[in-house]
Structure 1
Amino acid sequence: MTRALFISIKPRYARAILEGRKTVEVRRRFPTVPPGTTVVLYSSSPERAIVGTVRLKHTSRMAPDRVWALHSEAIDIAEEALGQYLEGADASTLLEVEDPRPWVRPVPLEVLRALLGVEPPQSFRYLNPEQVDVITRSGADET
């Protein structure tokens, strides 16, 4: 396994991704990562835990004003909220994801800190394969 992408996401959107209702995550900025990359989902406050993984199918960049027209069905966010989030951004990155794997036992923030000595990212960070193995053994038991 190559390195994984570790992203923070609001609980509502993390659930939507893991339930398969949200297949595109919109970001203001994002690095280019290859298709097939594992994406580790950290559900932010109040949940504060790693809740599962998805596989990156494709990334694309586009002008923020095109996102709603082209992807409104896949992003599971209201048009007004999307506009507020992307306000002032020159570009946006769309992460098309597949193969959602919710974890029966999420890995809480305290355990994440103890196991890896890392904080959840503001937006994203990378995890090496060993880090992914450690957190997967501590949580997972995918549904």
Structure 2
Amino acid sequence: MSDVLLSVKPEYVEKILEGKKKYEFRRSIFKRNDIDKIYIYSSSPIRKIIASFKIEKILKDSPEKIWTLCQKYGGISKKDFFDYFKNSEQAFAIEIGSVDSFKEHIDPFKVIENFKPPQSFYYLPFAFQQNL
């Protein structure tokens, strides 16, 4: 099993933690199929790992079909969704399972050697996973 660090904008992180966002949308997805857990990196200005969640399933379809299936718990406006998927033929929706919010947020710049915030996602080093 492996874990992934996913960059998420703070406004969407908040909705995930509140249980209002049950799908995280992506234009591309990890190639490995042994991903068990996703750690949430809240992007600027927070810049910390603040929670993790189990993956329920990953849906893959056209943006239109993904919107129809997931809009109720997508935590995003229709305009922002379709702006994000503009010129994309496929969309991915990661269904968010149980969420574990960290009391103390993790500064990845201090615990992951040569850390650079991921554009989309980042496979976490095994050593990082063992220290949590």
Query: Distance between the aligned counterparts of 1:49 and 1:114, measured in 2?
Result: 10
Amino acid at match of 2:56: K
TM-score (norm 2): 0.91
SS for the counterpart of 1:53 is strand
Deviations 1:23-57 (A, max 9, x none): 11110111255487110000001111101100011
Shift of 1:19: 2.1
The RMSD of aligned alpha carbons is: 1.6
Aligned residue pairs total: 131
Give the SS at the match of 2:129: helix
Are positions 1:114 and 2:113 aligned together? no
Residue number in structure 1 paired with 2:52 = 53
Conserved in 2, the CA contact under 8 Å of 1:38 and 1:53?
yes
Looking at secondary structure, tell me which structure has more helix per residue. Answer: 1
Alignment check: 8 A CA contact 2:2 2:35 kept: no
CA distance 1:92–1:40, shift in 2 (3 Å): same
- In structure 1, stretches of 5+ residues that fail to align are 137-143
Q: Percent identity?
A: 24
Shift of 1:107: 1.3
Q: Any runs of at least 4 consecutive aligned residues in structure 1 with deviations exceeding 4 A, and if so which? A: 32-36
Contact kept, 8 Å, 1:41 with 1:50, in 2: the verdict is yes
